[in-house]
Amino acid sequence: MARMARVLVHVRRGGAGGPARFGQSVTGAFCAAHEDAAVVSCGLERGRFLLSDAAFPGSAVTLLERPRSCPAKRLGEQPALALPAELRGRGVAAGAAVLLRASTGRVLLTRRAAGLRAFPNVWVPPGGHVEPGEELLDAGLRELEEETGLRLEAGTFSWRLLGLWESLYPPTLSRGLPRRHHIVAYLLLLSAEPHQRLEARMRPSESEVSAYAWLEPPVLEAIAATEEGAESWGRGPGALPPTVGAQLPTGTFLNAAPAQGEDVERVSTGTKFALRLWLEACGERGRGRP
């Protein structure tokens, strides 16, 4: 597949700014060194994905977060670990990922193919790069169709921005210097169709997707709770079915990212971030909050 042009992230603070630099934490530009999250205004502007500390025309206010072990954060603390010049000039790419919830309450996750260069065998929502001329939703719907064969028609779903996640690969410096750096916009899509009808139209791309599963809320709550520092949602693994989907072990979805050594099959940390935001919003609505 030919390499497509990508939309790059720009950062603006106090009215001044410029392109985000590969390997330097974007989140860190908006929060104190000991923090890992900030509220920002974001939006596509003149072919770039702009993150700002102040609202601008067409922007949305949302949460930007990085993992505690973010390599870009660690690189800032260890100047000796300098990135090669060819990496420093890459910039930070914008991405979009679709958390698709069917009318039956199930959410679609896909396992990235083993041959992919970044995050192989990791479970994620469909997603990828934002291309020039696309809106975030356009990019998310395109990636959903490319990866799963699933096309959503206008009027069959609603959507909103959940939050932004700073993603680097490899995810820890113990596995080497970063080779990928993105800001991923997680979009929640609420389909009016049941998962059975959606699944009947799916034709996953073998080069990108090795498995998929429509997961029920109790499993999703347990997945969100496996991330360090996450609130307990009140359901332990013992309350869950032993398998999900096509006889996939439920325990696989509850694996956490290892701090050292080779990665394991698991749900990505960014996906857990998005699930927590969705579950928190569901809880607030259930308590009568807007």
pLDDT band at 79 (very low <50, low <70, confident <90, very high): low
For residue 287, pLDDT beyond 50: no
Kind and range of the H or E run holding 200 = helix 195-200
**pLDDT tens string 138-147:** 999 999 999 9
- Is the pTM for the entire model greater than 0.95? no
Kind and range of the H or E run holding 286 = helix 269-286
What is the C-alpha to C-alpha distance for residues 111 and 128, in angstroms, rounded to an integer?
A: 14
Is the separation of the CB atoms in 265 and 255 below 8 Å? yes
What is the C-alpha to C-alpha distance for residues 177 and 212, in angstroms, rounded to an integer?
A: 30
**pLDDT tens string 20-62:** 999 999 999 999 999 999 999 999 999 999 999 999 999 999 9
Return the pLDDT at 284.
Answer: 52
